[in-house]
Structure 1
Amino acid sequence: MGGPSGWPALISLLLVVAILFFCSAISIDEARTQLLMREKMLQLGGQLVLTEQEELANERLMALKKAEVVQAMKIQNFPPSIHFFQAKNLIEKSEVFSILKKMPKGAALHVHDFGILSMNWLVKNVTYRPHCHFCITPKGALKFKFAYPTPPTPMPAECSEWVLLEKYRKEMQNVTEFDYGLLRNFTLMTENPEVDYANQNIVWSKFQSIFFTISGLVHYAPVFRDYIFQALEEFYQDNVLYLELRAMLLPVYELNGTIHNQEWSVRTYREVAYMFAKKHPGFIGIKLIYSDRRLKNVSFIMKSVQTAMMLRATFPRMVAGFDLVGREDTGHTLYDYRKALMIPILQGIKLPYFFHAGETDWQGTSIDRNLLDALILNSTRIGHGFALTKHPAVWADSWKKNIPMEVCPISNQESSSEPDQERDQMFVVVKKPGKN
């Protein structure tokens, strides 16, 4: 190899090395392609076979999506990476979002009775109705009541004197600004969420004050009916054809002071949904998940479980089951309520549960261990389940039992307990392929 006679051997060696390198490169590319294909097959919808038209539609949608990602990388402002309140306007301008709005959604399975339509409707429609009065509590919260001629005079410690809203507006110079102020009282939206909601106590306090404020509007019987219909209309416009609502079924009142019970409310939900379905092709319907607050003591929850059993027996096609709602980390755990929640099974009655559980990243606490008890109590679905990634055994058993997670990223961002400002969001549905 030191002289001319060695050149053929050198050339042969170099050729072998080149061939080996080339073959190695091919095997790396093949392995990479195969791995990417396996990942795609395991993704949601990865095993679907698209028709020719669907392929074209998918190409169009993916092109728009990639363009938005490229633009976001240029300006370093990607809507999913920032607070929803600041991203909302950007999302609504998105071409991808405009297409998604038109696509069928199927069902909305995690919505609450007081948060199912735009608050603009309450301001522009409901607060302009006759006999609507308001007062202000010592803590500055608005309270509404429909009454004729006026509601009973409240105690000073409860509220200020009642004011007829129609008369109040007539005396104002800037009604538009007043209505905008009402809207701010009806929603969490703010331009500076990190400042206005510096911790979870503040955001939950605001959250609860909103429900307190709008309850007097929504629980007026004529509004209650219209509220349900309008909510179904807004969901239908977004191609949502079926809903399951967490509903506390609080008393509904008439102008003359008559108070309706829970059975009346369930019948009203059923009647409005039936009427809506007659006018809207393809609409499937609604079911209610009767709910109570997890702040109450065990004796009250025992009564609530019994009420849920009664309502489900009376309205088997309308009442889906039972849940506990409210702030998870300051409320009672599912384990605290075990005596109440075992009542149905001890009586041989099937009452499906749809528990909120594990909406936290405080690992090893009673909060994230709600997931364990939700699983043990055979919850039909689990609301949020953010902590699922910290519980591999629960994850595995949920998969075996086919218990889906109701994933709510925006709610996780807004109202769950969190030790860090920076957090990952879980976009996972624990659900076996091919199952309902």
Structure 2
Amino acid sequence: MQSLFWHTSSRTAHLVLLILVCIKECMSMPDPHQRDLMLKQELAQQIGGSVELTQAEEQLDSLLHQLKMKEMTISPFPPAKHFFKVRHIIQKSPVFKLLQKMPKGAALHIHSPALVSADWLVLNATYRPHCYICFTWEGSVWFQFSAHTPLPRLGCSLWSRLDTLRARLRDVTAFDNSLMQNLTLFTDDPETAYPTQDAVWERFEKIFVALSGLITYVPVFKDYIYQGLKELYEDNIMYLELRVGQSRAYELDGTTHDKAWSLEVYRNLTEQFRAAHPDFIGSRIIYSIHRSLSVSKVKQAVQEAIDMQRQYPDVLAGFDLVGREDTGRSIWYFREALSLPSELKKDLPFYFHAGETDLDGTEVDRNIIDALLFNTSRIGHGFALVHHPVAKKLSRTRGVAVELCPISNQVLKLVSDLRNHPAGVLMSDGHPVVVSSDDPTLFGTTGLSYDFYEVFVGIGGLSANLGTLKELAINSIRYSSLLPELKDKAMKVWQEKWDKFIADNSKL
């Protein structure tokens, strides 16, 4: 005991001596060369920090820096405010307009029911023949296409055919605008409309129910997927990985199609789109099931995913659990179901939502750890990753990228000021990150440009430069599920687009 005491005292004395020496040395002026070296080391470590820029890229980088400096004088500064309140400001931003032109690579985290703009859904899908609507007691809407008036549903008014209903209205435009409001979370006063996470998630899930009856009708479904690819392409995106749930497409007579039918439709429509747009690489599906379901249901879904991947290896990329993590069941809860591919010696990649929470230290928060234990290929959102240094190190070592969806995180009330988003830590540390948009329909966006803006101007701050944008775009291809030869092809196509973007904009 005495020897331990003297050993501890000796160590303490040594530490005090080091501190005294440090104080003495630090009283003199710090070496400016050492300061410059430290700053350069930090910049080199961030995403894009090691990217060597050509002369033309440096010219555009200088322009972007000037534009961003001006952007930071805007009041309100867009990333510091709720996206719904500043979308109109962002749309006028010269930085945003440049980002719209930029080839962004791939969108790797979008859910199929929220792929297309609400405007298209209302002005196209709801104007089709045989479209019925009912108004729920909770203030939402449901849609159904049917050759005859659908049977009444509990919790909803009697069904009305939309063409007949519109014929009786004085102001059809106002009615259509109200339908759009029912298909999006967008509002002028988000703080009042959604005071808590529970409130915004409740509304969020009701919208998915409303969308389901509209977009799973076969004629709409086919046009919807094609329109989704078109909206992404117009935002300079060349590849998509889409989370697809278990809803089945239905015909006018009510008959439904199985998932294999839907996968064939996805593949055929992608090929049609590629035929018309040869520089579009394609799309793949991540089969998803809601985390509120039972272990047996999830196990059944995993088996379905294994079977479908065997039948459609070019279409099905992998499997995911979706839904609100805070109220849903954890990845560990489903460990028996998720172990099925390993037990069957089948290779089914996982792309888990994990860490979409601010409940630090809870079972939900540990989804980050469990996702990595199940060898997830990417981490959806990963908002909580910075609280898990071991997981953070492991994901970086393995090359497991975080799918960063900043607008989604803000709208769903994980962070209010995007300058405080934890992804800033990941970006400054050079952690693998890709940018995506999660549910563009619900947030009043299309493509990825809005999310890239929030990452570039808000989360990355002034340190983020053209190299940051370049590496983020490259990451989206690097960490995609594409086979190596297709990644090489995608990189070649992207590089050609990037070079043209630089040539067209470096001398503005």
- State whether TM-score is above 0.5: yes
Higher RCO (C-alpha 8 Å, min separation 6): 2
Q: Secondary structure at the match of 1:337?
A: helix
Measured in 2, the distance between the counterparts of 1:198 and 1:66 equals 33
| 1:18 aligned partner | none
Which residue number in structure 2 is paired with residue 141 of structure 1? 140
Q: Given the alignment of the two structures, is residue 223 of structure 1 paired with residue 196 of structure 2, yes or no?
A: no
Task: Tell which deviates more after alignment, 92-101 or 34-43.
Answer: 34-43
Residue number among 181, 203, 207 corresponding to 1:206 in the alignment? 203
1:307 aligns with 2:308: no
Match of 1:321 among 302, 318, 322: 318
2:369 matched residue in structure 1: 372
Counterpart among 245, 264, 267 of residue 242 in structure 2: 245
* Range 28-37 or range 102-111, more displaced: 28-37
| Structure 1 position 341 matched with structure 2 position 338 | yes
List per-residue Cα deviations over 1:326-369 (Å, max 9, x = no partner): 01011110111000000110111111000101111211101110
Q: Which residue is equivalent to 1:20?
A: none
Deviation string for 1:362-386 (max 9, x for gaps)?
1110111011110100001110111
Which digits, 9 at most, give the CA deviation of each residue in 1:152-188, with x for residues without a partner? 3214x34322111011111110011101100110000
Q: Distance in 1 between matches of 2:418 and 2:163?
A: 46
Structure 2 partner of 1:425: 421
Residues 144 and 214 of structure 2 are in contact (CA less than 8 Å); yes or no, is this contact kept in structure 1?
yes
Aligned partners of 1:142 and 1:213 also within 8 Å: yes
Deviation of 1:249 (Å): 3.7
In the other structure, the counterpart of 1:14 is none
CA distance, structure 2, for counterparts of residue 281 and residue 367 of structure 1 = 43
Residue 151 of structure 1 aligns with an amino acid whose one-letter code is T
Whether contact under 8 Å (1:290, 1:321) holds in the other structure is yes
Q: Which residue of 1 aligns with 2:150?
A: 152
SS at the partner of 2:103? Answer: coil
Q: What's the TM-score, normalizing by structure 2?
A: 0.77
Q: What is the deviation of 1:421?
A: 9.5
Partners of 1:31 and 1:378 in 2: CA distance: 41
Which residue does 2:36 correspond to in 1? Answer: 33
Supply the AA of the counterpart residue of 2:432. K
1:425 corresponds to which letter in structure 2? H
Q: Does 1:359 align with 2:362?
A: no
Query: Which residue matches 2:117?
Result: 118
Equivalent residue, structure 2, for 1:330: 327
**Alpha-carbon distance in structure 1 between the residues aligned to 2:139 and 2:314:** 42
* Residues in 2 aligned to 1:259 and 1:110: alpha-carbon distance in whole angstroms: 27
- Whole-Å Cα distance in 2 between the matches of residues 152 and 193 of structure 1? 34
The DSSP-based 3-state class of the residue aligned with 1:359 is coil
1:52 paired residue number: 55
Alpha-carbon separation, structure 2, partners of 1:38 and 1:120: 47
* Letter paired with 1:207: F
Q: Does 1:88 align with 2:87?
A: yes
Q: Give the gaps of 5 or more residues in structure 1.
A: 1-23
Name the CA distance, whole Å, in 2 between partners of 1:299 and 1:176: 46
Contact 1:409 1:426 in 2 (8 A): no
Structure 2 CA distance for aligned equivalents of residues 423 and 411 of structure 1: 15
Aligned residues: 405
Aligned residue in 2 for 1:236 = 233
Q: C-alpha deviations, 1:17-58, integer Å up to 9, x for none?
A: xxxxxxx86x73322222222222112212222222222222
Gaps of 5+ in 2: 1-27, 434-470, 480-508
Q: Which residue of 2 aligns with 1:409?
A: 406
**Structure with greater helix percent:** 2
Distance 1:241 1:189 in 2: 27
Contact 1:407 1:426 in 2 (8 A): no
Q: Which moved more, 1:198-207 or 1:39-48?
A: 39-48
Compute the TM-score of the two structures, normalised by the length of structure 1.
0.89
* Aligned-residue offset at 1:87: 1.8
SS class of match (1:109): strand
Following superposition, the deviation at residue 91 of structure 1 comes to 0.9
The answer to whether the Cα contact below 8 Å between 1:293 and 1:326 also exists between their aligned partners in 2 is yes
Q: Distance in 2 between matches of 1:272 and 1:289?
A: 17
Deviations 1:299-340 (A, max 9, x none): 111101101111111110110010000010111101110000
Cα deviation, 1:214-257, whole Å, max 9, x if unaligned, reads: 11110010000000000100100111111111101411111122
Residue in 1 aligned with 2:277?
280
Once superposed, what is the RMSD of the aligned Cα atoms?
1.9
SS at match of 1:352: coil
What residue number does 1:107 align with?
106
Q: Is the 8 A contact 1:362 1:417 kept in 2?
A: no
**Matched residues in 1 for 2:323 and 2:107: separation?**
19
How many Å apart are 1:79 and its aligned residue? 0.5
Contact 1:145 1:151 in 2 (8 A): no
Moved more, 254-263 or 175-184: 254-263
Cα pair 2:410 2:418 within 8 Å, conserved: no
Map residues 292-303 of structure 1 onto 2, 5 A cutoff. 292-303=289-300
CA distance in 1, matches of 2:150, 2:53: 64
SS class of match (1:260): coil
